[in-house]
Amino acid sequence: MQCLLVQLLPFNSQIPLAVQSSGSDDLSGCIRQCDWDENDVCRSCGTDYSPPKKLRPFHLAFPVDDLEKAKQFYVDVLGCTTGREKEGSCVFKFFGHQIVAHLVPQMPDMSTSPVDGKDVPAMHFGIVMEWDDWHQLKDKLKKDGVEFVIGPYTRYEDLPGSQATMFIVDPSGNHLEFKSFKDDGAIFDSTW
């Protein structure tokens, strides 16, 4: 059986050094056997441990109960462009990523979870933006009169994981979060 770290490697940019050498469990034992060359490729098994050469766009499909209103929102409010349109679906270029609205007869119920004293929509999607871009979008949404589900605010102020966030909702009730970190190194950091 292949170790979990090797199986998950395609989904992560690199294996942390602590895991490579910890020796504290069976997974690290499997990883430790690799002999890396100067290009981060294992000489014995051929696994490429180098970071991805190019980040590819993600794909997300989501339900809508009115395709025309969805197109108007994603194009006019968020500045997306449309791609392929078929009966019952529409592709959008969402900040360089592919999202697809699918027409459904009934939207699913949306529940929330308490975070920072706010009812955060448990099911949502969004994007992590550059700090200045996030502030520009915030100003545009305010200027355009877009209603916030959770207004712009900064979480973990003055901590390493400081992040700005805001939530809006599309005409079908899908929640979108836009966030930005003061330090991009904190995006996946679990130590703070």
How much is the pLDDT for 19? 38
Q: Is the pLDDT of residue 164 over 90?
A: yes
Q: Strand 175-181 relative to strand 124-128: parallel, antiparallel, unpaired?
A: parallel
- For residue 72, the model assigns a pLDDT of 98
Judge whether 9 and 15 are in contact, CB under 8 Å: yes
Domains and CATH numbers, the chain: 1-54 (no CATH), 59-186 (3.10.180.10)
As a whole number, mean pLDDT of residues 95-123 equals: 94
For residues 32-46, average pLDDT: 72
Tell which wins on pLDDT, 153 or 40: 153
Q: Is the pLDDT of residue 67 over 60?
A: yes
Write the CA distances from 185 to 81, 91, 120, 191, integer angstroms: 30, 31, 24, 11
Angle at 180 between CA 136 and CA 19, to 5 degrees: 160
3-24 pLDDT, tens digit each: 334 444 454 444 443 334 333 3
Task: Give the 3-state secondary structure of residue 184.
Answer: helix
Which amino acid does the sequence have at 136?
A: Q
The residue ranking higher by pLDDT, 57 or 16, is: 57
Pairing of strands 89-94, 81-86: antiparallel
31 vs 173, higher pLDDT: 173
Give the whole-angstrom CA distance, residue 121 versus residue 109. 11
For the stretch 106-118, pLDDT in tens is 999 989 999 989 9
- What is the SS3 assignment for 130-150? CHHHHHHHHHHHHHCCCCEEE
pTM of the complete model: 0.71
* Cα dihedral 125, 129, 132, 134 in deg (nearest 10): 0
Of the chain, the percentage scoring pLDDT greater than 90 comes to: 61
Q: Among all chains, which residue has been given the structure tokens 């502030």?
A: 135
Give percent of the chain above pLDDT 70. Answer: 79
